[in-house]
Amino acid sequence: MQKATETVLEIDLNALAQNYRYLTSKLHKDTQVMGVVKAFGYGSDSVAVSKELISLGVSYFAVAYPDEGITLRKAGVETAILVLHPLPATFKKITDHCMEPAIYSRSMLTQFIDFAEEIGLTNYPVHLKFNTGLNRLGFIAEDIEFIAEKFAATSSVKIKSMFSHLAASEDASETAFTESQIAQFKDISEKINKKIDYKPLRHMLNTSGVLNYPKAQYDMVRTGIGLYGFGNDPEENKHLKPVATLKTVISQIHTVKKGETVGYNRAFKASETTKTATLPVGHADGIKRIFGNRKGWVTVEGKKAPIVGNVCMDMIMVDVTDIDCQEGDEVIVFGENPSADELSQVINTIPYELITGVSQRVKRVICRK
């Protein structure tokens, strides 16, 4: 790879392939994979990621909102797309682009059936989401009879899949709760199957579920964060490789004398002569303002350079006193070193927030390392 000459987010498709193969090695040979590519492919490049996943054998994609799926359709992606959070106002977008809605409530089911009948759809695929303890979206067991009656009374829609979402599959202390969710979903889905004359797909496992509860993989699994290099566990992370690397360069180097300050509000005051480097990346690019004043760091010439002063909108300053570097040198904000996981722990968050927070103004570079 060429050295960065500006702020870029490198997307390593070989890392994506490695992660996919590792995760699918945990599955039965007939288990399908739904690749979750919402939020611009977890902050990367949803189109490039999706096309690579198609070549690897993914069966389905999941997005949060219709516009995310439309981006894929316009790029030529024909694979089935599940829209996880549809609203009545977006039904037409969904059907116009041959996407499939997750239906999660009585009112949503009624409204989508009415919409489907009005425009003359037949057996349009929908996915029923059940709430088994996450308490975010989903039907509950008491809705089974209502669901059965609604589908018996129409030919406009057909159940393509039934699914639920684990709340704490990465947490060993919540094993009993997770097992109860799995049992609930098994019971609900079997009751639905008895009331209709076909068997929809079933899926429940997220990335941590794939790794920790393989017995519940059913017909398909949904994997998101694992594809991008994070398994919610230090041991599993050894088998995964971060797909995204945020890089920038040194714009200018300053010698800050003892007693002088750096940045807005004079937040950093040099206790001794200090060499700082200014980098063209800031909170408008996804470097949260909570970083700074030696909370968080970047890597320059393989060495840790703490962030000093307040994070600016378009710039940060780092301490390079003990690093032999010069203007124009490449800087790693996060990737393998430091990882988004390491940096997220500094501010008590999770890697999801860091990688999905990289601004769309940052240039994406697709590569294979």
**How does DSSP assign 69-85, residue by residue?**
HHHHHHTT--SEEEESS
User: Do 210 and 320 share a domain, yes or no?
Assistant: no
Q: Using a pLDDT cut of 90, give the percent of the chain over it.
A: 96
Structural domain containing residue 156: 31-228
User: Do 252 and 191 share a domain, yes or no?
Assistant: no
Mean pLDDT of the chain: 97
The last residue of one of the domains, among 228, 253, 279, is 228
H helix runs in 133-290, sequence order: 144-152, 175-195, 207-212, 234-237
Residue located via tokens 């997307």? 11
**Predicted local confidence at residue 234, as pLDDT:** 87
- Domain tally for the chain? 2
User: Do 163 and 259 share a domain, yes or no?
Assistant: no
How many residues does this entry show for the chain? 369
3 in a structural domain: no
Diameter of the chain by CA atoms? 79
Residue located via tokens 């202390």? 173
User: Do 252 and 152 share a domain, yes or no?
Assistant: no
The mean per-residue pLDDT over the stretch 108-119 comes to 98
The mean per-residue pLDDT over the stretch 203-214 comes to 97
Strands 363-367, 8-12: parallel, antiparallel or unpaired by DSSP?
A: parallel
For residue 331, pLDDT over 80 is answered with yes
User: Do 248 and 221 share a domain, yes or no?
Assistant: no
**Predicted local confidence at residue 3, as pLDDT:** 85
d(CA 290, CA 327): 26
Contact 63, 72 (CB under 8 A): yes
15 in a structural domain: no
Q: 233 or 177: whose pLDDT is higher? A: 177
Residue type, 24: T
- Asked whether the whole model's pTM tops 0.85, one would answer yes
The mean per-residue pLDDT over the stretch 93-99 comes to 98
Which pair of tokens denotes residue 155? 């030919």
For residue 204, pLDDT over 90 is answered with yes
- Three-state SS at 171: coil
Task: Tell me the torsion sign for CA atoms 132, 137, 143, 148.
Answer: negative
User: Do 316 and 215 share a domain, yes or no?
Assistant: no
Instruction: Note the pLDDT tens digit of each residue in 55-74.
Output: 999 999 999 999 999 999 99
Q: 89 vs 38, 93, 97, 100, 178, CA distance in Å? A: 19, 9, 15, 15, 34
Closest CA relative to residue 139, chosen from 122, 151, 123: 151
User: Do 258 and 180 share a domain, yes or no?
Assistant: no
**Predicted local confidence at residue 213, as pLDDT:** 97
197 in a structural domain: yes
User: Do 132 and 206 share a domain, yes or no?
Assistant: yes
For residue 154, pLDDT over 90 is answered with yes
Residue located via tokens 């390392």? 369
6 in a structural domain: no
300 in a structural domain: yes
Which pair of tokens denotes residue 331? 């800087």
User: Do 249 and 211 share a domain, yes or no?
Assistant: no
The last residue of one of the domains, among 199, 228, 257, is 228
Which residues are catalytically annotated?
Answer: 38, 264
Instruction: Note the pLDDT tens digit of each residue in 249-296.
Output: 999 999 999 999 999 999 999 999 999 999 999 999 999 999 988 899
Give the CATH number of the domain where residue 325 resides: 2.40.37.10
Give the CATH number of the domain where residue 106 resides: 3.20.20.10
The mean per-residue pLDDT over the stretch 347-355 comes to 95
Contact 98, 73 (CB under 8 A): yes
User: Do 273 and 182 share a domain, yes or no?
Assistant: no
Q: Using a pLDDT cut of 70, give the percent of the chain over it.
A: 100
For residue 1, pLDDT over 80 is answered with no
132 in a structural domain: yes
24-38, 177-191, 230-244, 307-321: lowest mean pLDDT where? 230-244
199 in a structural domain: yes
**Predicted local confidence at residue 2, as pLDDT:** 72
Instruction: Calculate Rg over the CA atoms of the chain.
Output: 24
User: Do 187 and 323 share a domain, yes or no?
Assistant: no
The last residue of one of the domains, among 170, 199, 228, is 228
**Predicted local confidence at residue 271, as pLDDT:** 97
User: Do 303 and 358 share a domain, yes or no?
Assistant: yes
7 in a structural domain: no
